Chains A and B, each alone.
Chain A
């Protein structure tokens, strides 16, 4: 069950400059077509501003107001309010993209249709305890395009659905699927790996978030450089250069830490050289179990 979106009564007041900026965007929102008054429009946008930039400076609030997709925001609110004309517009513009996105995500027509139908029902809304219908469109805040938001929501549902299903697979099914069950290695047995692992863990904490994101996307999620580049809006060659720099620095710092831990420089070199080969014996699955495993959601 989705939590109910904040009500208009919760909205604190905004500065006059922000309110004026919101008022200036009313005409392009097309709210008049769906019976949304300027006051209602102000409240809708103010809710978004407070939610994402309530504590931010006035400039950031103005920037947020300027970048909102106000036309799609009013359409979403009008749909959730049950406006027939708004639903006609929504179905005309977004129904086909919604189902196409679902097919692309599921890579299977039946699953894709099921996924899209489920979201479509959520968008139409379910009555809550008080009898008020809560539509998923109430959660659209206009920060990105409505098409993009629908894709993201579909992706979230797909990831959650697949994960929940994978947890429910029985032992028999796993045996039938020839899943092998390796003996878990003892977790607290000291070994030379631990000192290397400690050095790596300590070094990882020194990296900034983007560097860790690159490492996690590349080594944990097995993403391609092109995928990572698309997400960061940079060219894949840029990602490659950054990754190379990060791993080089990482090795350098780990080696330094190992030396500080008392390893002879020659032994450090050996450890660093043997790192990949020796780590083939490390049980990575146990470490990756907490969130997801690479390639889980790709068929």
Chain B
């Protein structure tokens, strides 16, 4: 029913408009100011329902009200003067608290993340000599080889040179420091680049010659993305996004990697079981799949090691989830709900 159209309802309503004596101005004012007791309010509404005159008076008076609340009527309609501010203030305070707590938690996590990496860095040169050299990643080698070498005027002490036992190890360690991911560089690389450039300049071969083989553990601390970005002359932020390896499980169940714009390459070509999940934490990559097959690479997929999960054979189960909170601590879960947790980067599982 439209408000503006005449109709039977309006006609019958008009016919019912037979009001008695009108209420005085005091009662109408009290009604307008919501100060009438319930009994009188009902009586007045009953009158208003049949009295167009009083409805009109109330409406005209309401249209002349200058401001919603004045000091004179404040006790009649006790409403806050600034309700929006009072309403939003607690929410703003809560939001600020959440932001502060969230920032504190993030900082704490970042701190925890850096600790184990620093320990690894310290022990890297000694353990690097024990492990057999792995096949270097061709793409990374090319990128490093093509990288323009900086000109260094002042040789300076290498920050990790005291941990090395041979020049080759020193080179590996320094390269590891030089090409570490941006987040780690802040801890290990001095602010003045020339302080670490001297040994590099001395240790590195000529720009055209291929780079020395990188040991697996040393390469684990090398960030290929950052290395390639230097080679391409990109800024730090651009380069990390541009050349950071991308990972996927293809339709055949093979784990694949793509660096930059390069084509997808299988990283576990000999694996027959279908992979299901891939998890990346910095340079650490974890790939899991059917028959509880779990692989780990600590160098962004250059080298891989098979991880045997204790207490259960593969059978018909598969790894369904891989979650790492830090490079060292994480959980692997099978599709039947069984889970394994490590706190040492996958060396031991519980």
Size class of the A contact interface (CB-based, 8 Å): 35 or more
Of residues 51 through 108 on chain B, the ones whose CB sits less than 8 Å from some CB of chain A are 51-53, 55-66, 70, 72-73, 76
- Asked whether A13 is an interface residue with its Cβ less than 8 Å from the other chain, the reply is no
Given contacts A144-B32, A216-B17, contact A231 B56 (CB under 8 A): no
**Among B5, B7, B11, which residue has the most Cβ atoms of chain A within 10 A?**
B11
State which of B9, B25, B62 has its C-beta within 8 Å of the C-beta of A200. Answer: B9
List of A residues within 8 angstroms of B58 by Cβ:
152, 155, 231
Contact between A143 and B7 (Cβ–Cβ < 8 Å)? no
B2 interface residue (CB < 8 Å to A):
yes
0/1 per residue, A133-158, Cβ < 8 Å to B? 00000011111111111011111101
B56 engages A297 (CB within 8 Å): yes
Chain A hits for B66, CB < 8 A: 97, 100-101, 104
A144–B87 CA distance with the chains assembled, in angstroms: 29
Q: Cβ of B27: which chain A residues have Cβ within 8 Å of it?
A: 52, 143
Smallest Cβ-Cβ distance to B6: which chain A residue: A284
Interface hits, A184-236 → B, CB 8 Å: 193, 196-197, 200-201, 204-205, 209-210, 212-213, 215-223, 227, 230-231, 233
Please measure, in the bound complex, the distance between the C-alpha atom of A225 and the C-alpha atom of B73, giving whole angstroms. Answer: 24
User: Cβ of A250 and Cβ of B9 under 8 Å apart?
Assistant: yes
Contact in complex: B5, A279 (CB < 8 Å): yes
Q: Which residues of B contact A221 (CB under 8 A)?
A: 52, 55-56, 59
A147 to B65 alpha-carbon distance, docked (Å): 9
User: Which A residues touch B59, using CB under 8 A?
Assistant: 221, 223, 227, 231
**Whole-angstrom CA separation of A141 from B30 in the bound complex:** 10
Shortest distance between the CB of A281 and any CB in chain B (Å): 9
Interface residues of B in 1-18 (CB under 8 A from A): 1-18
CA distance A292 to B51 in the complex (A): 9
Kindly state whether residue A276 has any CB partner on chain B within 8 Å: yes
Find out whether the CB atom of A60 lies under 8 angstroms from the CB atom of B14. no
Taken together as a complex, chains A and B put the C-alpha atoms of A60 and B37 apart, in Å, by: 8
Please name all residues of chain B whose beta carbon is closer than 8 Å to the beta carbon of A154 when the two chains form the complex: 61, 64
A159 touches B56 (CB 8 A): yes
A288 within 8 A of B: yes
What are 26 of the A-B contact pairs (CB < 8 Å)?
A60-B39, A69-B72, A72-B72, A104-B66, A140-B25, A144-B32, A147-B72, A149-B29, A151-B29, A158-B60, A159-B56, A201-B15, A213-B46, A213-B55, A217-B55, A221-B59, A222-B3, A231-B31, A231-B32, A231-B59, A279-B7, A287-B12, A287-B15, A288-B10, A290-B17, A297-B56
Residue numbers of B with Cβ under 8 A of A are: 1-19, 24-37, 39-40, 42, 45-46, 48-53, 55-66, 70, 72-73, 76
Known: A209-B48, A233-B34. 13 other contacts (CB 8 A): A145-B73, A147-B73, A152-B28, A154-B61, A155-B57, A156-B25, A197-B12, A204-B12, A210-B45, A219-B7, A220-B13, A231-B58, A291-B51
